[in-house]
Amino acid sequence: ANKLLEQTGTTIFTVMSALSLQHGAINLGQGFPDTEGPADIVQAAAGALLDHRNQYPPLTGLPELKSAVAAANQRFYGLPIDPAAGVCVTSGATEAITACLMALLNPGDEAILIEPLYDTYLPVVKLLGATARLVRLEPPDWHLPRAELAAAFSPKTKLLLLNSPMNPTGKVFTADELGFIAGLLTQHDAYAVCDEVYEHLVFPPARHIPLMTLPGMAARSLRIGSAGKTFSLTGWKVGYISGPENLIALAAKAHQNLTFTTAPNLQRAVALGLAKPDDYFTALAGALMERRDILNTGLQRLGFLTLPADGSYFITADISPLRFPGDDVEFCRAITTQAGVAAIPVSAFYAATPPRNYVRFAFCKQPDILHEALARLQRWI
């Protein structure tokens, strides 16, 4: 058996969702919306199935979806992406991340990852025989320790994996931070893999800026999006990578050996979704921001110290003021089984020696569900 996979546990999202189900808890753990995505997109996917859209689509994606991805890059960020050679459609951003890492890393290379980190990054870097150099954001505001980031670069650095808006922190990297990162990438001639699945889930005044838009970055960045997040259809697993032709060609070769292609009816529906008017995207972020505010205010009232969350589905909170006799893992188990509210321990997003006093709550749920979760927590506390 592969030793690395033998040592890999079941993802914390699956573990906590199972516990949540078992105890009839409100699941504020795994990040998925509790309402369906836009009916017209779902209808388009169903229609495409009946319209004989059921054989292998092209390897890098249906031309109509690739054009829609390129057009969205132009519309939202002014990024000129070639619809034919600058886009590769994948089966979810999860596959896209793996494909980008496969495209760029050789055994012995170093990849810089930022903790707390999404759980698929580290195992894939290791499986490719590369070494992860970890840099930790610092609470209570999850700021980037610039000197430590600069020190993590070495002659072996091949890439930095940047997740903004970030899971689990909800951090949206600022123009200034991105400028600093871009400077380091240029100086060390390294690439960026940009996990931007939450690109449209950003709360004003925060604004999402793709690293790729910074001077010199277009040639060295691969930018990843996810229809699951952008259209509240997380089970669909349609992702897309945008970037320069030479890097997309490599990612496409990885994709060829991972899944080869992605369900054509879903691709067709996502193409329609990406062409939606600006109001759709503004309303999506607006509705989520309202939910972030409900949970943030409610958790603060209960005594949690919430940390800033400017984007994504998530807010993190320091549980120390609650004086719970246990760590974040025990806390999450306790609120799931006793209070009936599931959350995710933030220690699961660290490779080793994590902080043990932060938990992550997902707020992508209907307001009355969030109020009910807060009421349950209040009774338990």
Please state the separation of Cα 96 from the chain's center in Å: 11
Q: Which of residues 165-184 bind ligand GLN (CB under 6 A)?
A: 167
Q: Which of 20, 27, 30, 67 binds ligand GLN (CB under 6 A)?
A: 30
Q: Is 31 in the site for ligand GLN (CB under 6 A)?
A: yes
Q: Pairing mode, if any, of strands 358-362 and 344-345?
A: antiparallel
Q: Any long-range contacts for 324-330 (C-beta under 8 Å, 24+ apart)?
A: 327/356, 327/357, 328/356, 328/357, 328/358, 328/359, 329/356
Q: Which of 77, 118, 304, 349 binds ligand PMP (CB under 6 A)?
A: 118
Which of residues 266 and 377 has its CB atom nearest to ligand PMP in the complex? 266
DSSP, collapsed to helix, strand or coil, labels residue 133 as strand
Q: Which stretch binds ligand PMP (CB under 6 A): 87-95, 212-220, 290-298, 359-367?
A: 87-95
Least separation in angstroms between residue 13's CB and ligand GLN is 3
Tell me the two tokens of residue 143: 């700021």
Least separation in angstroms between residue 314's CB and ligand PMP is 8
Least separation in angstroms between residue 57's CB and ligand PMP is 17
Which of residues 87 and 197 has its CB atom nearest to ligand PMP in the complex? 197
Least separation in angstroms between residue 36's CB and ligand GLN is 17
Give the DSSP letter string of 148-202: HHHHH--TTEEEEEEESSPTTT-----HHHHHHHHHHHHHTT-EEEEE-TTTT-B
Which of residues 218 and 285 has its CB atom nearest to ligand GLN in the complex? 285
Q: Which of residues 125-164 bind ligand PMP (CB under 6 A)?
A: 163
Contacts of 356 (CB under 8 A, 6+ apart): 327, 328, 329, 345, 347
Whole-angstrom Cα distance, residue 202 to residue 285?
6
Least separation in angstroms between residue 381's CB and ligand PMP is 28
CB atoms under 10 Å from CB of 274, counted, come to: 25
Q: Which of residues 194-223 bind ligand PMP (CB under 6 A)?
A: 195, 197
In which region does residue 12 sit, left (phi positive, over 0), alpha (psi from -120 to 50) or beta (all else)?
alpha
**CA-to-CA separations, 234 to 20, 30, 39, 69, 230, in angstroms, rounded:** 19, 11, 14, 18, 9
User: Among ligand PMP, ligand GLN, none, what binds residue 30 when CB lies within 5 to 8 Å by partner kind?
Assistant: ligand GLN
CB 243 within 8 A of CB 99: no
Which of residues 11 and 366 has its CB atom nearest to ligand GLN in the complex? 11
Size of the site for ligand GLN (CB under 6 A): 5
Which of residues 48 and 329 has its CB atom nearest to ligand GLN in the complex? 329
Least separation in angstroms between residue 1's CB and ligand GLN is 22
Which of residues 119 and 293 has its CB atom nearest to ligand GLN in the complex? 119
Cis peptide preceding 264, ω within 30 of 0? no
Cα Rg, the chain, nearest whole Å = 20
Give the binding site for ligand PMP (CB under 6 A). 92-94, 118, 163, 167, 195, 197, 226, 228, 234, 237, 239
Give the binding site for ligand GLN (CB under 6 A). 11, 13, 30-31, 167
